[in-house]
Amino acid sequence: MSIDGVKALTFDVFGTVVNWRDSVAREAEAILAPLGVQEDWHAFADAWRARYQPAMQKVRDGTMPWNKLDDLHRMNLEDLLAEKGIGGLDEATLDHLNKAWHRLDPWPDTIEGLTRLRRKYVLATLSNGNVALMVNMAKRAGLPWDAILGAEVARAYKPQPEAYLRAADFLGLKPEECMMTAAHNNDLVAASKVGFRTAFVLRPVEYGPNQAKDTRAEHDFDVIADDFVDLAQKLGC
């Protein structure tokens, strides 16, 4: 398959590139269990993640001023801990736990797929994660990005159109020269509306074994792939 004129692939990261659910569950257990906290750690990760979209929505609609994702994660964490009656954590522990999101593992196909794709395309993050989060994650996991872009440099959270358009502008490319790559239908639909090409990558257990959404491509995206190795194959890399 050839997608004429595409020069850069821009990537959703949480869920698409990395497995946040298992990683956050592991990190939370490693930090909190020794302190005597007993939880279903995957449910803990899900509950933290459930506060993600509502927090960004406050920024999108102007109810809250701009806050980078590390800071939204921290507000959501404190809210979650209070709800669960987990108290007495010192600042260093809270900060380390909050930065669990910097220590997410890639899916098994991620590194091979990105490495192959990078031979032909510019690879840039286009995530709602902030720059430091993306840099630290990439350094730990060995993700071979050419550029860290996304919400913080665009000052807009996806699916706001500015998030995509400013990424293309930073890359010096037209929207149609960029292909948004994501495991989420709504992200690709929003990118497509501003002229990006689209690649859907299936991540059927991002939300665990009973995942209810994004279990298939629901629109006519330019490429539909089973994983990043399949995507590389389909793009001739």
Residue ranges in contact with a second copy by CB under 8 A: 70, 122, 124, 130-133, 135-136, 138-139, 146-149, 152-153, 170-173
Shortest gap between Cβ of 4 and a second copy (angstroms)?
A: 18
- Short-list 117, 123, 67, CA closest to 229: 117
Q: Cα–Cα distance between 174 and 101 in angstroms, integer?
A: 31
Supply angle C-alpha 211, 163, 156, rounded to 5: 95
Which amino acid, 107? Answer: W
Q: For the CB of residue 131, give the shortest distance to a second copy in the complex, in Å.
A: 4
Pick the closer one to a second copy by CB: 24 or 149.
149
| 102 CB-near residues (< 8 Å, 6+ apart) | 132, 133, 136, 137, 140
Q: Residue 109 has which token pair?
A: 């196909």
Shortest Cβ 129–a second copy spacing (Å): 11
Q: Between residues 86 and 135, which has the closer beta carbon with respect to a second copy? A: 135
Select 180 or 217, whichever has its Cβ closest to a second copy: 180
Indicate the residue among 8 and 45 with the shorter CB distance to a second copy. Answer: 8
Give the nearest distance from C-beta 8 to a second copy in angstroms.
9
Residue ranges with strand state E in 17-172 = 18-19, 105-106, 122-127, 147-150
Q: What is the DSSP letter of 101?
A: G
Euclidean distance between CA atoms 180 and 212, whole angstroms = 22
For a second copy, the closer CB: 154 or 225 = 154
Give the shortest CB-237-to-a second copy separation in angstroms: 15
